[in-house]
Structure 1
Amino acid sequence: MQRTLRNGALSRFRVIDLSQVRAGPTCVKQFADFGADVIKVEPPDSVPRGELYVGARDGADMQNLHRNKRSITLNLKSPRAKEVLEPLLRTADVVVENFRPSVKERLGLDYDTLSKINPRVVLVSISGFGQDGPYRDRPGFDQVIQGMCGLMSATGTPEGPPTRAGAAVIDVGAGVYAALGAMTALLEREHSGKGQWVQLSLLHVGIGLMDFQAARYLVEGDIAERIGNDHPTSMPTSAYSTADGYVNIGAGGDDMWRRLCSALGQSALAEDPDFRTDRDRVRNRDRLNHLLNEHFRTATTDQWMARLSEADVPSGPIYTMDQVFADPQVQHSRIAAPVVHPRRGEIRLVDQVVQLARTPAHVANTLEDKGGSNDDILGELGLSAETIAELRLQQVI
């Protein structure tokens, strides 16, 4: 069954997905949603390899990560695997992998080898720590990198322990950066006619995501500390208790601060010597937060949202996931995309974040059964029905 989106923005490209877990599949998902012919290569059932941290095949995580892809099975360790893999690689525009460097070299999936098979191929390699250096063969996982990039040391309350973010921000960030790198290489290929090797490590991604906190240290020597929900350099930017929950406020800058005080009915607070400038408010954040929490507790979150919106003060509620998808803006934006699963019926997945006006992304298909496109893809590569049957009998596919 043809599962690609032939009128998609990227429909002229073929992507081979050799990755697992989250970072690589997130990269490939960007191509799949925009119509590239994405082929997920996974081991046959005779070679068990679980997808760590992403649950069962029909579960939410796997379906969200691997929608819009075709699946073939291939035992990469089999001597006959090259009969399938090399013809497939010759048709590829992009190959995405997240093997450890030594494993990639042992399997013959390093860039030097691939470029001899297909000089136009773009190889995207996502590793924990890089393709060389003292940590090159260490396994990299999101939470481990959150600790090593400084994120956990800057997250949480001052009296509490270092705290991980509530989502796999390193893996997802790595996937998006990887897609950007791959698409940049494809653009360059239009000029040179040559592919190239795109490399990124989770560690570098994590440090990149620390952004201004990393820059504060490199330029100023400031080491970020845990300060809960407060912004380190601009206040009041924090979360405050209301009569029935919490509200987030982003009122950095003196003009925004005065608008917030007016919305609170506390204009005199703006002239308090402790709070006149951003620097004053950062230095006196404990007193500031105490006073603001007292004021915000006098009304509900919805009541405050109405007042703050009227005053043009950046603000928002703090949602649980069910509240997220009940929000009228989220529903208007159709962020939950419906798709039909062969066993689960209609399910909803997170729609593609990037919206193009003329050639939009489309979540069209769920993850197909393992090897569901074996016969179609191998036939496209010119393998006969007899050869395919022989490979299946020998557990190569």
Structure 2
Amino acid sequence: MSALPLSGVRVIDLTRILSGPFCSMILADLGADVIKIEAPGGDHVRKQGEIRRGLSWYFAGFNRNKKSVELNLRSAEGVQVLERLLADADILTENFRPGVLGEMGLTEARLKEINPKLIVVSVNGYGSTGPYADRPAFDFIAQAMSGFMATNGTSETGPLRSAPPITDLVAGLYAALGAVAALRGRENGGPAQRVEASMMMSMMSMLAYLSSNALATGEDPVPSGNNHPIASPYGLFRASDGDIAVAPSTEVIVRKFLRELGLEQLLSDPRFESNAVRLQHRAELNALINEALAHGTQDEWIARLNKAGVPSGRVQSLTEALADPQVADQEMVLTEQTPHHGEVRMTGFPIKFSETPLALRHPAPELGGNGRDVLRAAGYDEAEIEALIAQGVLGAGSPQTA
């Protein structure tokens, strides 16, 4: 089998919590050698979420395929070790508050002295410039300030957050894309540049037609819950035994949908003859659709509608979705036997490569478990490594749990 796409790329990863580790996990999954530098005590996520046999499954799911070095960067000696590792790296990933790297002495000029070919990838809350650059950032706040939260929910519920930490994940995804693009640019003779992705701006880029309409009209979208803000009929409807999601995105599919329900004649009714008027009479149309759907079950309607070319599906709980046969076929739930924590399950790889399939090459690392090996590879001898451990600069590695 050929090498993975990023084989041979070395990443020094200073990120913690979620947005940055999601970025570096993507790079690791694609084959990069990712060395996670952790402060004494480790990434806070090691102690969060469901913990089984001493291992946070939250941490395991976002730090697979990485190595861990526990390094005290508050000491001059620790920064010197980091600089030595950076000298042979391709990418540095960090999600500190803007300016923190400079406070550590790792200014842009210093980093170029250490390694002129180093690509620096930064994930932050609002961007490194502007009036909010120094504000502390959190997913909930970025969801609120990006306009995203105001588009969710209904007039009754008010603004609603997304349950997953969506701004962390989108920013991490953009950062990984930017890192790969910067690598490609460098390979083509371009400069080794800095890449930045912020949570607020990344989320704003995902608002699609909502932003387009707001920019065109100067008006905010009306929160529409499960209804589509610019299409009708579209949303959750009620079969005899529960809800089904139906997404007729064009006039052709709307006609197919209503035909299957025996309601095609509604398209000649002045209230329903076009999408524009259907939006005005959405409640009336939805009531007629629900009345027709009440004569069949979820499974019956989903099979019938999909056969007719009308996208539809059942609202599944998360555990149902994780057990779905399509998810199993796509290998989107992975099970790994770790050497010290037993079985760990996590979501799989959404990117599929035909010739170099992605794989769990090694589980999330023990805290500091790769420190000695990484420093040996960087040219440190055993006496130097033991001295750094004795000084409290380098972690000796977590004790192994049975």
Say which SS state the counterpart of residue 136 (structure 2) adopts: coil
Name 1:142's counterpart in structure 2: 139
Once structures 1 and 2 are overlaid, which stretch shifts more, 304-313 or 62-71?
Answer: 304-313
Q: 1:103 to 1:6 in 2, by over 3 A?
A: farther
Contact between 2:60 and 2:364, CA under 8 Å: does it hold in 1?
Answer: yes
Q: 1:54 to 1:71 in 2, by over 3 A?
A: same
Query: Structure 2 counterpart of 1:33, which letter?
Result: D
Shift of 1:293: 2.1
1:171 has 2:168 as partner: yes
**Identical-pair percentage:** 36
Shift of 1:322: 1.4
| Alignment size in residue pairs | 391
- Aligned residue runs from structure 1 range 203-352, under 5 A: 203-352=200-349
Superimposed CA distance per residue, residues 175-202 of structure 1 (whole angstroms, 9 cap, x where no aligned partner)? 1100111111000101226311001211
The 1-side partners of 2:34 and 2:342 are apart by: 23
1:27 has 2:40 as partner: no
Structure 1 gaps of 5+ residues are none
Once structures 1 and 2 are overlaid, which stretch shifts more, 50-59 or 287-296?
Answer: 50-59
Shift of 1:82: 2.7
Shift of 1:348: 2.2
Contact between 1:122 and 1:195, CA under 8 Å: does it hold in 2?
Answer: yes
Contact between 2:235 and 2:246, CA under 8 Å: does it hold in 1?
Answer: yes
The 2-side partners of 1:354 and 1:342 are apart by: 27
Q: 1:49 to 1:308 in 2, by over 3 A?
A: closer
Contact between 2:241 and 2:298, CA under 8 Å: does it hold in 1?
Answer: yes
Name 2:44's counterpart in structure 1: 50
The 2-side partners of 1:255 and 1:193 are apart by: 48
The 1-side partners of 2:19 and 2:218 are apart by: 31
Contact between 2:231 and 2:279, CA under 8 Å: does it hold in 1?
Answer: yes
1:13 has 2:9 as partner: yes
* TM-score normalised over the length of structure 2: 0.93
Query: Structure 1 counterpart of 2:234, which letter?
Result: T
Shift of 1:248: 0.7
Contact between 2:12 and 2:93, CA under 8 Å: does it hold in 1?
Answer: yes
Superimposed CA distance per residue, residues 334-380 of structure 1 (whole angstroms, 9 cap, x where no aligned partner)? 11122222233232221111111112211222211101101100000
The 1-side partners of 2:202 and 2:272 are apart by: 36
The 2-side partners of 1:119 and 1:190 are apart by: 13
* TM-score normalised over the length of structure 1: 0.94
Q: 1:193 to 1:262 in 2, by over 3 A?
A: closer
- Aligned residue runs from structure 1 range 119-198, under 5 A: 119-192=116-189, 194-198=191-195
Query: Structure 2 counterpart of 1:283, which letter?
Result: Q
Structure 2 gaps of 5+ residues are 395-402
Name 2:363's counterpart in structure 1: 366
Query: Structure 2 counterpart of 1:61, which letter?
Result: Y
RMSD over aligned Cα atoms: 1.8
Shift of 1:21: 1.3
Contact between 1:9 and 1:360, CA under 8 Å: does it hold in 2?
Answer: no
1:74 has 2:58 as partner: no
Shift of 1:108: 2.4
The 2-side partners of 1:396 and 1:44 are apart by: 9
Contact between 1:149 and 1:210, CA under 8 Å: does it hold in 2?
Answer: no
Q: 1:156 to 1:108 in 2, by over 3 A?
A: same
Say which SS state the counterpart of residue 207 (structure 2) adopts: helix
Name 1:379's counterpart in structure 2: 376
